[in-house]
A and B are shown apart, each in its own frame.
Chain A
């Protein structure tokens, strides 16, 4: 029972992280493309800012992924 709960916890972590980062990067990418379409000459500046913000958005889900994998492979097995 407890091991099953750990697997569920890992799965929930992975799933919620995926939903969050999907919405986040989706909105970010849409606005990025809109910005380029409006003012193509701003592309270099926008690209830098895009990557900064993407790194910020990306960080929390990737931490979630790491913890989920750790739970599934190291905690459950041990």
Chain B
């Protein structure tokens, strides 16, 4: 617990508040103090903590994997090299298993998404108070360390995937082919008049399924990690309730962390797999 003066509600809300940078109501630019101020900033505000941790972890991934790739040789590989090789092979197997067209971008994209999401999710396993407390000592009021518990981050990644699916849909099938895919199924007809009559219904169904892809992709990742974080915060509340509850809280924290490793890995894997599947759908002709 941060301090005794805080109520549990304040504690939870404090943990769920991002460090937001944007334009204040009086026109000046700066960091928001409190949820109401952050909300007043509206659309043109940026979450500094999310950006910082996601970019830092992305850079860590690039640096580590580049280092491993440069050291790769025909001799016996050592620890970290083995690990990187194992991940690359794992992703490669998955891409070969579910992607059947020729495209050089899919496997690197899948690798990046998998390792990056995995690293961001792993931040959830750091005890919830450690980094925010350190940040508070440095004078930073709010600090949310898990980027994937911020819907902005997951929506950003899902939008990137969505743009790629649109791009390859149009590139592979042509604008006409893509439009036909949106309007000529699932209801099909031989009769040209009937075909035109089916267009609005088909377009509605296909458009909903097209839009639901990035939304479900991002909300799934966000929801799982947010739920995990929420439970960690609620367990952390036990530490303020005396010695017995604190011990129980420690055990629970550990137990939930062990269970959460499954979710952390699984959600990163699902994000990668669904990205591959969406790109495969974008490439396949009807």
Contacts and interface: CB of A to CB of B under 8 A. Distances in A.
Interface of A: 51-52, 54-56, 58-60, 62-63, 65-66, 69-70, 73-74, 77-78
A73 B9 contact: yes
B59 interface: no
A66 B269 contact: no
B230 A56 contact: no
A65 B263 CA distance: 14
Interface string B1-40: 0000001110011001000000000000000000000000
Contact of A77 (B9, B224, B263, B270): B9
A55 B223 contact: no
B230 A66 contact: yes
Given A63-B219, A66-B223, A69-B231, A74 B269 contact: no
Contact of A59 (B12, B224, B231): B224
A49 to B, nearest CB: 10
Contacts of B13: 74, 78
B114 to A, nearest CB: 13
Interface in B215-250: 219-220, 223-224, 226-227, 230-231, 234
A11 B226 CA distance: 19
B196 interface: no
B84 interface: no
Nearest to A74: B12
A66 B225 CA distance: 9
Interface residues of B, number: 21
Contacts of B224: 58-59, 62-63
Given A63-B223, A63-B227, A66-B223, A73 B273 contact: no
A52 B226 contact: no
A66 B227 contact: yes
A55 B226 contact: no
A78 to B, nearest CB: 5
A55 B230 contact: no
B8 A51 contact: no
B220 A59 contact: yes
Interface string B261-279: 0010011011001000000
A25 B219 CA distance: 20
A50 to B, nearest CB: 11
A78 B226 contact: no
16 contacts: A52-B270, A52-B273, A54-B266, A55-B220, A55-B269, A56-B270, A59-B220, A59-B224, A60-B223, A62-B227, A62-B263, A63-B220, A63-B223, A73-B234, A78-B9, A78-B13
A66 B223 CA distance: 7
